[in-house]
């Protein structure tokens, strides 16, 4: 019953969902060593970000917090606005020494491809954040003057959208890192090119 009331109010209340926010993005390099493509790749394997039980070439992470305004009048709780604060961090390898030619040129192609791959993950976090704003601004729960029920509704909405974003990221990585995928091709070109 509460679900139907929420849906009815969502359709009745015009949402004020501005897209006037901007993500803060930063690159966090980690040092690698080597003067050949294979040595650089080995160093990545030893020093890359730890994810799960292994290390990866690069990683994108984000922290998402909110400034929300609620209307608690009429014994209900309505989200009037939601301004996200999204900080995205791209962790990428960086050689600690100058590289000789042609390794330097091969490295430049490799790292640009890896950077573009990670930017897709960053764009996915931005899209998810926009969708959270779209789905939650204007959301209303009746008989909730302290916004306690609203918090549960918000947690579910956000948890569901994060799950979708993470699944999309895993699917993207599976293709990119799979046999013949873009990341695999970048690694092979670096390792075999010098």
Q: What is the reported pLDDT for 162?
A: 95
Please say if the pLDDT value at position 12 is more than 50. no
CA angle 134, 136, 139 (to 5 degrees): 125
Are β-strands 59-71 and 77-95 bridged in parallel, bridged antiparallel, or unpaired?
Answer: antiparallel
What tens digit of pLDDT does each residue of 121-159 get? 999 999 999 999 999 999 999 999 999 999 999 999 999
Q: Where are the domains of the chain?
A: 2-193
**Stretch among 11-15, 79-83, 93-97 having the lowest mean pLDDT:** 11-15
**What is the spatial distance between Cα 72 and Cα 168, in angstroms, rounded to a whole number?**
36
DSSP string computed for 17-69: -------EEEEEEEEE--SSHHHHHHHHHHHSPEETTEE-S-EEEEEEEEEEE
What tens digit of pLDDT does each residue of 167-176 get? 999 999 999 9
- This prediction has a pTM of 0.85
Q: How does residue 18 score in pLDDT terms, banded at 50, 70 and 90? A: low
CA angle 85, 63, 156 (to 5 degrees): 90
Q: How does residue 3 score in pLDDT terms, banded at 50, 70 and 90? A: very low
Please say if the pLDDT value at position 60 is more than 80. yes
Q: What is the reported pLDDT for 52?
A: 87
Q: What is the reported pLDDT for 5?
A: 36
Please say if the pLDDT value at position 13 is more than 80. no
Burial class (CB in 10 A: 0-12, 13-18, 19+), 174: exposed
Coil vs helix vs strand at 84: strand
**What is the spatial distance between Cα 118 and Cα 58, in angstroms, rounded to a whole number?**
7
Q: What is the reported pLDDT for 53?
A: 87
Q: What is the mean pLDDT of residues 21-40?
A: 97
């Amino acid at each position: 019953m509460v679900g139907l009331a929420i849906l009815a109010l969502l359709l009745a209340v015009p949402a004020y969902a501005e897209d006037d926010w901007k993500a803060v993005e930063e690159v966090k390099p980690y040092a690698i060593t080597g003067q050949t493509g294979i040595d650089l790749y080995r160093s990545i394997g030893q020093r890359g970000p730890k994810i799960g039980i292994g290390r990866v070439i690069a990683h994108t992470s984000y922290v998402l917090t909110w400034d929300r305004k609620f209307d608690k009048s009429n014994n209900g709780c309505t989200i009037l606005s939601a301004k996200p604060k999204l900080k995205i961090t791209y962790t990428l390898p960086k050689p600690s020494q100058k590289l000789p030619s042609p390794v330097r040129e091969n490295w430049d192609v490799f790292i640009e491809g890896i950077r573009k791959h990670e930017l897709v993950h960053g764009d996915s976090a931005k899209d998810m954040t926009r969708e959270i704003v779209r789905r939650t601004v204007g959301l209303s729960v009746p008989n909730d003057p302290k916004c306690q029920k609203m918090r549960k509704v918000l947690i579910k909405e956000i948890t569901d959208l994060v799950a979708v974003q993470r699944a999309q990221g895993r699917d993207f990585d599976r293709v990119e890192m799979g046999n013949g995928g873009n990341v695999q091709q970048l690694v092979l070109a670096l390792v075999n090119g010098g």
